[in-house]
Amino acid sequence: MKELTVISGKGGTGKTSITAALATLASDAVICDCDVDAANLHLLLSPKVNNKAEFYGMKKALINQDECTQCGQCVELCNFDAISDYTVNSMACEGCQLCHHACPSGAVEMVDHLAGHWYISETQCGPFVHAKLGIAEGNSGLLVAEVRKAARRLAEEGNKSIIITDGPPGIGCPVISSLADTNMALVVTEPTISAIHDLERIVKVAKNFGCYIAVCINKYNLNEENSRYIEGISRKLNIPIVGRVSYDPVMHEAIVRNMPVTLVPKGKVHDEIKTLWAQVQKILL
Protein backbone atom coordinates (compact mmCIF):
# COMPACT_ATOMS: atom_id res chain seq x y z
CA MET A 1 0.00 0.00 0.00
CA LYS A 2 1.37 3.40 -1.06
CA GLU A 3 0.66 6.90 0.15
CA LEU A 4 0.46 9.96 -2.06
CA THR A 5 0.32 13.36 -0.32
CA VAL A 6 -0.68 16.41 -2.34
CA ILE A 7 0.81 19.66 -1.04
CA SER A 8 1.29 23.17 -2.36
CA GLY A 9 3.08 25.54 0.01
CA LYS A 10 0.96 28.47 -1.13
CA GLY A 11 -2.80 28.13 -0.76
CA GLY A 12 -5.20 28.38 -3.69
CA THR A 13 -3.07 26.69 -6.31
CA GLY A 14 -5.71 24.04 -6.92
CA LYS A 15 -4.40 21.36 -4.61
CA THR A 16 -7.84 20.18 -3.51
CA SER A 17 -9.33 20.23 -7.03
CA ILE A 18 -6.44 18.10 -8.30
CA THR A 19 -6.69 15.72 -5.32
CA ALA A 20 -10.41 15.20 -5.92
CA ALA A 21 -9.81 14.59 -9.63
CA LEU A 22 -7.11 12.00 -8.88
CA ALA A 23 -9.45 10.34 -6.38
CA THR A 24 -11.99 9.72 -9.16
CA LEU A 25 -9.32 8.10 -11.33
CA ALA A 26 -7.99 5.73 -8.68
CA SER A 27 -9.92 2.48 -8.57
CA ASP A 28 -9.08 1.29 -5.06
CA ALA A 29 -8.04 4.22 -2.92
CA VAL A 30 -8.68 5.55 0.55
CA ILE A 31 -9.05 9.33 0.40
CA CYS A 32 -7.81 11.45 3.24
CA ASP A 33 -8.10 15.20 3.94
CA CYS A 34 -5.28 16.45 6.16
CA ASP A 35 -6.11 20.12 5.70
CA VAL A 36 -7.89 20.00 9.04
CA ASP A 37 -7.81 23.77 9.62
CA ALA A 38 -9.82 24.53 6.51
CA ALA A 39 -10.99 21.27 5.03
CA ASN A 40 -12.53 21.53 1.56
CA LEU A 41 -12.25 18.14 -0.07
CA HIS A 42 -15.58 17.04 1.44
CA LEU A 43 -17.28 19.77 -0.59
CA LEU A 44 -16.32 17.97 -3.79
CA LEU A 45 -16.76 14.36 -2.69
CA SER A 46 -20.20 14.64 -1.00
CA PRO A 47 -19.36 12.15 1.75
CA LYS A 48 -21.89 10.12 3.70
CA VAL A 49 -20.57 10.12 7.26
CA ASN A 50 -20.49 6.67 8.87
CA ASN A 51 -18.49 7.38 11.96
CA LYS A 52 -17.72 10.52 13.95
CA ALA A 53 -14.99 10.61 16.61
CA GLU A 54 -13.92 13.24 19.10
CA PHE A 55 -10.43 14.68 19.07
CA TYR A 56 -8.93 15.88 22.32
CA GLY A 57 -5.91 18.17 22.12
CA MET A 58 -3.55 18.90 24.98
CA LYS A 59 -5.12 19.49 28.35
CA LYS A 60 -5.56 23.17 29.17
CA ALA A 61 -5.31 25.08 32.40
CA LEU A 62 -8.37 26.11 34.38
CA ILE A 63 -8.19 28.28 37.49
CA ASN A 64 -10.44 27.24 40.32
CA GLN A 65 -11.72 30.60 41.57
CA ASP A 66 -12.52 29.28 45.06
CA GLU A 67 -8.87 28.36 45.64
CA CYS A 68 -7.26 31.30 43.81
CA THR A 69 -5.72 33.94 46.08
CA GLN A 70 -4.99 36.27 43.15
CA CYS A 71 -1.28 36.31 43.91
CA GLY A 72 -0.54 36.88 40.23
CA GLN A 73 2.26 34.35 39.91
CA CYS A 74 0.62 32.49 37.02
CA VAL A 75 0.03 35.71 35.12
CA GLU A 76 3.66 36.64 35.49
CA LEU A 77 5.01 33.21 34.52
CA CYS A 78 2.83 32.44 31.51
CA ASN A 79 4.89 32.89 28.37
CA PHE A 80 1.83 32.78 26.15
CA ASP A 81 -0.03 35.71 27.74
CA ALA A 82 -2.88 33.29 28.29
CA ILE A 83 -3.93 34.44 31.75
CA SER A 84 -5.59 37.73 32.59
CA ASP A 85 -7.90 38.61 35.47
CA TYR A 86 -7.01 35.21 36.96
CA THR A 87 -8.80 33.50 34.12
CA VAL A 88 -7.21 31.31 31.46
CA ASN A 89 -7.91 32.16 27.85
CA SER A 90 -8.10 28.63 26.48
CA MET A 91 -7.43 29.86 22.95
CA ALA A 92 -3.99 31.14 24.00
CA CYS A 93 -3.13 28.37 26.49
CA GLU A 94 -0.64 25.86 25.08
CA GLY A 95 -1.09 23.39 27.90
CA CYS A 96 2.49 23.62 29.21
CA GLN A 97 1.28 23.20 32.83
CA LEU A 98 3.77 25.71 34.27
CA CYS A 99 0.98 27.58 36.08
CA HIS A 100 -0.42 24.29 37.33
CA HIS A 101 2.92 23.37 38.90
CA ALA A 102 3.80 26.86 40.11
CA CYS A 103 0.53 27.96 41.74
CA PRO A 104 1.22 28.18 45.48
CA SER A 105 -2.43 27.41 46.35
CA GLY A 106 -2.88 24.54 43.90
CA ALA A 107 -5.70 26.42 42.21
CA VAL A 108 -4.82 25.54 38.64
CA GLU A 109 -6.28 22.34 37.27
CA MET A 110 -5.48 20.77 33.87
CA VAL A 111 -8.68 19.79 32.07
CA ASP A 112 -9.51 17.82 28.94
CA HIS A 113 -10.10 19.93 25.91
CA LEU A 114 -12.27 18.92 22.96
CA ALA A 115 -10.43 20.38 19.99
CA GLY A 116 -12.31 18.93 17.04
CA HIS A 117 -13.85 15.91 15.37
CA TRP A 118 -12.82 13.46 12.70
CA TYR A 119 -14.97 11.36 10.43
CA ILE A 120 -14.94 8.17 8.42
CA SER A 121 -17.21 8.51 5.41
CA GLU A 122 -18.20 6.77 2.22
CA THR A 123 -17.89 8.48 -1.16
CA GLN A 124 -18.24 7.35 -4.75
CA CYS A 125 -14.42 7.27 -4.89
CA GLY A 126 -14.03 5.05 -1.84
CA PRO A 127 -13.66 5.47 1.92
CA PHE A 128 -12.81 8.99 3.03
CA VAL A 129 -11.25 10.18 6.29
CA HIS A 130 -11.61 13.87 7.13
CA ALA A 131 -11.68 16.16 10.13
CA LYS A 132 -12.76 19.47 11.47
CA LEU A 133 -10.70 21.32 14.01
CA GLY A 134 -12.50 23.75 16.29
CA ILE A 135 -12.01 27.48 15.81
CA ALA A 136 -8.60 28.74 16.74
CA GLU A 137 -7.34 25.37 17.88
CA GLY A 138 -3.70 24.53 17.79
CA ASN A 139 -2.14 21.11 17.62
CA SER A 140 -3.49 20.35 14.20
CA GLY A 141 -0.39 18.21 13.61
CA LEU A 142 -1.73 15.70 16.11
CA LEU A 143 -5.15 15.60 14.46
CA VAL A 144 -3.44 15.12 11.10
CA ALA A 145 -1.62 12.14 12.61
CA GLU A 146 -4.94 10.76 13.87
CA VAL A 147 -6.60 11.12 10.48
CA ARG A 148 -3.68 9.47 8.69
CA LYS A 149 -3.67 6.59 11.13
CA ALA A 150 -7.37 5.96 10.49
CA ALA A 151 -6.77 6.12 6.73
CA ARG A 152 -3.96 3.56 7.01
CA ARG A 153 -6.13 1.24 9.04
CA LEU A 154 -8.94 1.48 6.48
CA ALA A 155 -6.50 0.88 3.64
CA GLU A 156 -5.07 -2.20 5.34
CA GLU A 157 -8.48 -3.61 6.22
CA GLY A 158 -9.87 -2.97 2.76
CA ASN A 159 -6.68 -4.16 1.04
CA LYS A 160 -6.43 -0.90 -0.89
CA SER A 161 -3.40 -0.09 -3.01
CA ILE A 162 -3.19 3.64 -2.34
CA ILE A 163 -4.03 6.44 0.08
CA ILE A 164 -4.50 9.80 -1.60
CA THR A 165 -4.10 12.66 0.86
CA ASP A 166 -4.96 16.32 0.47
CA GLY A 167 -2.28 18.02 2.55
CA PRO A 168 -2.44 21.34 4.40
CA PRO A 169 -0.98 24.56 2.97
CA GLY A 170 2.13 26.19 4.39
CA ILE A 171 5.31 24.61 5.69
CA GLY A 172 4.49 24.33 9.41
CA CYS A 173 3.59 21.61 11.85
CA PRO A 174 0.54 20.13 10.05
CA VAL A 175 2.46 19.82 6.77
CA ILE A 176 5.27 18.04 8.55
CA SER A 177 2.72 15.66 10.08
CA SER A 178 1.15 14.98 6.71
CA LEU A 179 4.48 14.23 5.02
CA ALA A 180 6.04 11.92 7.60
CA ASP A 181 6.40 8.45 6.16
CA THR A 182 4.50 9.15 2.93
CA ASN A 183 5.80 7.58 -0.29
CA MET A 184 5.30 10.50 -2.59
CA ALA A 185 4.71 14.23 -2.26
CA LEU A 186 3.00 15.81 -5.26
CA VAL A 187 3.52 19.56 -5.15
CA VAL A 188 0.75 21.43 -6.98
CA THR A 189 2.05 24.82 -7.97
CA GLU A 190 0.97 27.58 -10.36
CA PRO A 191 2.99 29.96 -12.54
CA THR A 192 2.69 32.98 -10.25
CA ILE A 193 5.66 34.67 -8.63
CA SER A 194 4.16 33.99 -5.18
CA ALA A 195 3.78 30.28 -5.83
CA ILE A 196 7.28 30.01 -7.29
CA HIS A 197 8.63 31.64 -4.17
CA ASP A 198 6.82 29.09 -1.99
CA LEU A 199 7.71 26.13 -4.20
CA GLU A 200 11.37 26.15 -3.21
CA ARG A 201 10.47 26.38 0.47
CA ILE A 202 8.03 23.48 0.40
CA VAL A 203 10.43 21.29 -1.61
CA LYS A 204 13.12 21.88 1.02
CA VAL A 205 10.66 20.74 3.69
CA ALA A 206 9.60 17.66 1.72
CA LYS A 207 13.21 16.67 1.03
CA ASN A 208 13.71 16.19 4.76
CA PHE A 209 11.35 13.23 4.62
CA GLY A 210 13.05 11.18 1.97
CA CYS A 211 9.83 10.70 0.01
CA TYR A 212 9.67 10.90 -3.77
CA ILE A 213 8.85 14.48 -4.81
CA ALA A 214 7.21 15.53 -8.07
CA VAL A 215 5.62 18.74 -9.32
CA CYS A 216 2.36 19.46 -11.12
CA ILE A 217 2.00 22.92 -12.69
CA ASN A 218 -1.64 23.93 -12.50
CA LYS A 219 -2.92 26.81 -14.69
CA TYR A 220 0.37 26.45 -16.60
CA ASN A 221 -0.73 28.66 -19.51
CA LEU A 222 -1.59 31.57 -17.19
CA ASN A 223 1.99 32.75 -17.58
CA GLU A 224 4.12 30.54 -19.81
CA GLU A 225 7.31 32.36 -18.93
CA ASN A 226 6.79 31.58 -15.25
CA SER A 227 5.92 27.98 -16.14
CA ARG A 228 9.24 27.66 -17.93
CA TYR A 229 10.91 29.17 -14.92
CA ILE A 230 9.28 26.48 -12.72
CA GLU A 231 10.56 23.85 -15.15
CA GLY A 232 14.05 25.32 -14.71
CA ILE A 233 13.82 25.21 -10.92
CA SER A 234 12.58 21.63 -11.01
CA ARG A 235 15.50 20.59 -13.20
CA LYS A 236 17.89 22.30 -10.83
CA LEU A 237 16.32 20.55 -7.84
CA ASN A 238 16.20 17.29 -9.78
CA ILE A 239 12.44 16.92 -9.38
CA PRO A 240 10.30 15.73 -12.28
CA ILE A 241 7.28 17.63 -13.59
CA VAL A 242 4.59 14.98 -13.83
CA GLY A 243 1.67 17.12 -14.90
CA ARG A 244 0.68 20.33 -16.65
CA VAL A 245 -2.95 21.36 -16.22
CA SER A 246 -4.45 24.28 -18.19
CA TYR A 247 -6.07 27.38 -16.78
CA ASP A 248 -9.63 26.45 -17.59
CA PRO A 249 -12.93 27.90 -16.30
CA VAL A 250 -14.21 24.34 -15.91
CA MET A 251 -12.07 24.01 -12.75
CA HIS A 252 -14.00 26.88 -11.21
CA GLU A 253 -17.30 25.53 -12.54
CA ALA A 254 -16.58 22.15 -10.93
CA ILE A 255 -16.05 23.77 -7.52
CA VAL A 256 -19.25 25.81 -7.88
CA ARG A 257 -21.09 22.58 -8.73
CA ASN A 258 -19.48 20.71 -5.82
CA MET A 259 -17.98 18.08 -8.10
CA PRO A 260 -14.54 16.77 -8.98
CA VAL A 261 -13.59 18.32 -12.33
CA THR A 262 -13.26 14.91 -13.94
CA LEU A 263 -17.01 14.37 -13.48
CA VAL A 264 -18.00 17.65 -15.16
CA PRO A 265 -18.73 16.87 -18.81
CA LYS A 266 -16.44 18.23 -21.52
CA GLY A 267 -13.67 19.38 -19.28
CA LYS A 268 -10.70 20.39 -21.39
CA VAL A 269 -8.43 19.45 -18.55
CA HIS A 270 -9.61 15.82 -18.31
CA ASP A 271 -6.86 14.44 -20.52
CA GLU A 272 -4.19 16.48 -18.75
CA ILE A 273 -5.28 15.13 -15.38
CA LYS A 274 -5.36 11.56 -16.74
CA THR A 275 -1.78 12.01 -17.93
CA LEU A 276 -0.83 13.30 -14.48
CA TRP A 277 -2.42 10.27 -12.83
CA ALA A 278 -0.65 7.89 -15.23
CA GLN A 279 2.68 9.49 -14.34
CA VAL A 280 1.97 9.30 -10.63
CA GLN A 281 1.01 5.63 -10.93
CA LYS A 282 4.16 4.88 -12.86
CA ILE A 283 6.23 6.34 -10.05
CA LEU A 284 4.27 4.88 -7.17
CA LEU A 285 2.91 1.49 -8.09
Cβ-based nearer residue to other proteins, 263 or 279: 263
**21 burial via Cβ count (<10 Å: 0-12, 13-18, 19+):** buried
d(CA 57, CA 265): 43
Cβ-based nearer residue to other proteins, 10 or 244: 10
Contacts of 31 (CB under 8 A, 6+ apart): 19, 23, 41, 45, 123, 125, 126, 127, 128, 129, 151, 163, 164, 165, 166
Rounded to 5 degrees, φ, ψ at 227 are -65, -40
* C-alpha distances in Å from residue 273, one per residue of 26, 101, 154, 184: 12, 56, 26, 17
Query: Of the candidates 222, 233, 237, 263, which one interacts with other proteins according to CB under 8 A?
Result: 222
Query: Of the candidates 198, 213, 234, 267, which one interacts with other proteins according to CB under 8 A?
Result: 198
Q: Which SS3 state, helix, strand or coil, does residue 159 take?
A: coil
Stretch 241-260 residues interacting with other proteins (CB under 8 A): 247, 252-253, 255-256, 258
The site string for other proteins over 103-142 (x = CB under 8 A, - otherwise) reads ------------------------------x-xxxxxxxx
d(CA 276, CA 228): 18
Cβ 148 to other proteins, closest distance in Å? 5
Angle at 128 between CA 126 and CA 131, to 5 degrees: 170
Stretch 7-46 residues interacting with other proteins (CB under 8 A): 8-13, 16, 37-38, 40, 43
By CB under 8 A, residue 67 contacts other proteins = no
Interface segment toward other proteins; rule CB under 8 A; list 123-131, 172-180, 238-246, 269-277 = 172-180
The terminus-to-terminus CA distance of the chain in angstroms comes to 9
Cβ-based nearer residue to other proteins, 9 or 127: 9
Cβ-based nearer residue to other proteins, 86 or 209: 209
By CB under 8 A, residue 47 contacts other proteins = no
Cβ-based nearer residue to other proteins, 54 or 253: 253
d(CA 280, CA 106): 57
d(CA 171, CA 203): 10
Interface positions with other proteins (CB under 8 A):
8-13, 16, 37-38, 40, 43, 57-58, 77, 79-80, 91, 94-98, 101-102, 133, 135-142, 144-145, 148-149, 169-173, 176-177, 180-181, 190-194, 197-198, 201, 204-205, 208-210, 222-223, 226, 247, 252-253, 255-256, 258
